[in-house]
Structure 1
């Protein structure tokens, strides 16, 4: 038997440039039956940057594509504090608007012309399906052009006296169709007061304090993100863009997780990088990559774990092409590159792949080494460990010769080394 070459030492624990932890606080917004209808999100990471035009949308992406042990928002609405700069950046085109409530800040002592100037972008966002929330200042005469756009109006009980609240609630009921949210509700007396006046949504310590949720993010290398941006800017072919995704497990994971999330709004499951690229389109792909670059603080060579995942993906793809159609080879690459997600994310594989909604053959391969893809993955692992018995058994099941496997493995190693130079 010709022994398959090894790929070096076994994978080491993930380095700090592979996965990072984000702390997000969420506070429930409940209805009169105390059923949660949505969550307001706050960035509580110690390394969080100042509130800029991109941080609002990055927070939404984290909520939609996080890798955690629980659902951060599930199917509830996401309430996100925005800046007016973030509303015009175009990044919001990357999310399904039906799930997101944009909390629009007041303009201070704004002149009427400034309110009018910002009206078109607010109108466009609402026309696209986003929900808009304002604080009580939208009920002032100076903000009259904005009032018809309000889906929600927040009434801050910490700054509004009971008599002011009564006037505002009455005025809102007569002049708009917005749902009122009483926020900073801290006592039963406050709840009884506003609910008796017709307010039906509530937020505050009386119901729930903001709860911290730790989310794990698989961070691509800056070099891979920049390469993706460059390929998109020159309108490269789908094949070329797909090659960029194939060489960085973090980049691939982030894209597949996002595009298959409920927040992206697709009705069918996306199972290959090619599908993801084609469905997202170059414009959205560019904006997504730009946001990743904004959020990324890492650089340098990929870790040994990421490199091993890339080698596995390429090896399995090449071997699948020996006997299978190209679409099956695409799935083989996906299995290989995601086969170390449990190590990268420090969580069980079942939880990790659950975040991607992978098709059953992929899940069976990753979890139980079942099926054609499972046999390929077992063979790829045997190539790394030089386990002769497993190598021979897997090769026999796949009807592959040692020469075919050795040649494909050498090609995969050379390809991975070349693309990560």
Structure 2
């Protein structure tokens, strides 16, 4: 059985990762409303309990999972650890006595309760003592409507508000002004301010190494010399060769030996990860996590597609697909600082070439745009059964890498 699940980040006021919402579909060609909420929730719960752990998809952060009245009545929510799950009641569920009894019971058991895509209705007042989070579609409700909801819930100060579909930094600031605590959307992946940011010396060293390793024939002597003049970089290299992320272990006595043990492909990935981590140090960790996931996903898709001699190029394209947000610049200005191949530049600047199609696929997957993802899968003649596994593997790999370089 294959699970088509995507995750969408939920951040707090400081842009720290608070949780993920998990979105499930039964195959790339089955999009709501063809698959109802009951079936989606049932299979997501089954998958999380019997196929993959929630912690694999959420890096031990809470998972927001949608529940219908039917799945709540069947007690599916109680199959999950209350510390791991936020029970998100779908907007299609009508408030009533049965639902209220379930919510009370879940609250007594220690679950966090959220109302999804909330539309104001006085009958929900009976639920307010037990509701922790109210999710509001920021693209649907006006500021006045939001203020009305906040006014009517002010007697329940424990209720926090989550703004959904926050796609720009301006919307994020507006939502903050309106008193929202949590934010869901990809606003953090857009540049906040268009400005010039120069690369620090260590970043320039990494950029130089990226360039040196982009050649088909790697000059090991030159790369060794670059590492040997940066003690911090050398330390990270040695630590990485001995980390859980890198399975092979060996006694290392020189920088050159570490590079040989690592191998060209692993070295390229290591440098890409380190560069992105270095320049995004003052950015939300989720931005780095998303970059890593895109990089690994693109690489796995390239391997499956079999049309590229060097799949590390797909990895680097995925990693750099958010470099504009990391540097707070336009993509053009950001890439001007890096010596990259035309294939990568065409993908990131012109949305052209097979690399661009890999990136389009991962972006659709992130937002659970399954129909659009399926179109690309058909165009590339990929095996649709391998794509969900690639995404799941990419998420797990990103989690491991973040732990290794932190």
Structure of larger gyration radius: 1
Fold match (TM-score > 0.5): no
Larger RCO (alpha carbons 8 Å, 6+ apart): 1
- After TM superposition, the score normalised by the length of structure 2 is 0.42
- After TM superposition, the score normalised by the length of structure 1 is 0.41
